[in-house]
Amino acid sequence: MLVAGQVADDRSVRLGRADVTNSLDLLRRVREIETDAYIIFKPHPDVVAGLRPGHVPVSEAARYVDLVLPDASIDDLLNNVDAVHVLTSLTGFEALLRGREVITHGQPFYAGWGLTRDLAEPIARRNRVLTLEQLVAATLILYPRYFDPVTGLPCPPEVLSQRFSVGSMPKPGFLQVFRSIQGRLNLVRRKQAMLQ
């Protein structure tokens, strides 16, 4: 069983109507619910890199989980667990796509449609059951507005998919390169602080 951490000041955490509001409280609650489960905690990558708040010390997490894997690939973890607990994390949606059981403690966009086990108060306006295919279509095709990275104009998802498949994406901009370097430096500083 996987518990996906989130950043403490994320808007979806603050407004997600969960009775738990941080990763440590989520870990405590999951252990109370899943008393005999083998629980793996994956902190959010931005928290691990020191870019966002929400760090849970391993010693604190270890009171509730069996394993903390900050550097593990989320894809590998999702392919090797039976269930995922989330507050409002997109990891829950990714888990649904892989056929995993998803337990929500908040109200993410994919909760309340009959596809997840929801522990937060019900969402009144979501009063019908969707298939996974309907949720995926609404989430990735009908709702979003995509922009062609080459022309800068609005486009359907098929154009964006074609751009990815032929490799005609523009090179990363200055801000993307800067954030990547910043993340690596913060990770090095954090690892050095742990060694002291």
Burial (0-12, 13-18, 19+ Cβ within 10 Å), 174: exposed
Residue 196 confidence (pLDDT): 62
Residue 195 confidence (pLDDT): 66
3-state secondary structure of 187: helix
- Positive/negative CA dihedral, 28, 34, 37, 41: negative
Residue 54 confidence (pLDDT): 85
Domain ranges of the chain: 2-141, 145-195
Which residue stretches of the chain have pLDDT < 70? Answer: 16, 168-170, 193-196
Residue 194 confidence (pLDDT): 63
Q: What is the tens place of the pLDDT at every residue in 145-165?
A: 898 888 889 999 999 888 888
Residue 163 confidence (pLDDT): 86
- Positive/negative CA dihedral, 102, 103, 108, 110: positive
3-state secondary structure of 66: coil
Q: If you count them, how many residues does the chain have? A: 196
